[in-house]
Amino acid sequence: MSSPILHRYFQPVTDIQSYLNIIYLLLAFPLGLAYFVFFVVGFSLGIGLLIIWVGVFILAIVATLSWAFAHFERQLATALLQINLPATQKPKSTSPRMWERIRAYLINPGTWKGLAFLFLKFPLGLFSFVTSVVTLAVSLGLIIAPFTYENDVIDWGSIQIDSMEKALFACFVGVLLFPLVLHLLNFITEVYGLIARALLSE
């Protein structure tokens, strides 16, 4: 195997961006869950209470906060994924009527694109969180096997690490596996970046 190939394979290990990507992926699930719960409750209450007009104010709050959440996600992606996301034009209405202001939000494509991203954040966040935790736990668990096998025999079904020889081999496998895990997680964040560019920017 040539040196350039080895360099490309192990390069994510020394790249700070790989670890910023991991932070982004680990944050995706709790944020996505929070958005999902907020919007489900907000839209349910708002639509259910439209008959007494209280729902109008609830929907106005939901629409306004959706732009705030989208702005936060844009800043988060810019800071952690290092991508440029031009802000969408916030809807403006000079009418003093609340309904006209809500209508300005509803007819603005940025509102629905932002909502689509925030709703997608839940399933995508769940997938990325589970993938990150499982792959990192396996690779790092193998790497530290020489330091942990004596206190707690590592038992993965048909594979048991109960000697220094096996632990050192497991560590070697973990060292080879860890860059592959980072490549996978970096690819997932690239997909996130594409979705963010499509839904969170002009």
On whether the CB atoms of residues 154 and 148 are closer than 8 A, the answer is yes
* Mean pLDDT in residue range 182-192: 96
Question: For residue 93, is pLDDT > 60?
Answer: no
The CA-based diameter of the chain, rounded to the nearest angstrom, is 76
Q: For position 128, what pLDDT does the model report?
A: 94
| Beta pairing partners, 155 | 160
Q: 159-161 and 154-156: which strand pairing?
A: antiparallel
Q: For position 52, what pLDDT does the model report?
A: 78
Mind listing the pLDDT tens digit for each residue in 33-84?
999 999 999 888 888 887 777 777 887 788 888 888 998 999 999 999 998 8
Name the residue ranges covered by the structural domains of the chain. Answer: 13-127+182-200
Determine the Cα–Cα distance for residues 189 and 119; give it in Å rounded to an integer: 17
Whole-model pTM: value is 0.84
Query: CA–CA distance from 32 to each of 24, 47, 49, 117 (Å)?
Result: 12, 22, 25, 9
For residue 116, give the 3-state DSSP assignment.
Answer: helix
Q: For position 53, what pLDDT does the model report?
A: 76
